[in-house]
Amino acid sequence: MVLPIILYGSPILRKKAFDIDKENNVKEIISNMTGTLKQMGGIGLAGPQVDLLKNIFIIDTTPLEGDNIEVVEKVCMNPEIIHYADSDEFYEEGCLSIPGIFEEVKRPGQVEVRYRDENFDWHEEVLTGISARVFQHEYDHLQGILFIDRLSALRRKMIRSKLKKISHHK
């Protein structure tokens, strides 16, 4: 089932999500979120974006295939970022909850992460490139942080009217 995307301006996007456990209907949640992400053509989707205040996100970089970008498809539940590299990189980010706005965002180019997969098995890995970028973006969603919060005050001021339009159309 394709779920409606929660748009900028909704209070749920600013709340901290809670850990997901086996009692939550995980298979259905993953199926719905994956279907929604594919339908919307995004590369990442976090629980709060579909009105689910749970620590889960889906990464699927398939839409970027052919841009010399590795295809990554994974479910990350109860994720943690253990370590951020010192090297920062800029990359243009967008967000399904903030349609039509794309901005250069500075983030560490490498992160060491830990998360549970769809079988609740723990994984620990070092991510670089697009994987590191999307993981951090989606992880931020679970903390109530949006990519626009990582922009300079001047950039935020420049997109303020676009943001107002989005928040009035929810």
Is residue 132 within 8 A of residue 139, CB to CB? The reply is no
82-87 contacts, C-beta under 8 A, 24 or more apart: 82/111, 82/112, 82/113, 82/114, 82/124, 83/111, 83/112, 84/108, 84/110, 84/111, 85/109, 85/110, 85/111
Say whether 138 is catalytic.
yes
Catalytic residue among 28, 70, 118, 138: 138
H helices within 65-159, ranges in order? 129-142, 153-158
CA gap 20, 164 in Å, rounded = 32
Separation CA 22–CA 118 (nearest Å): 10
Which residues are catalytically annotated?
138
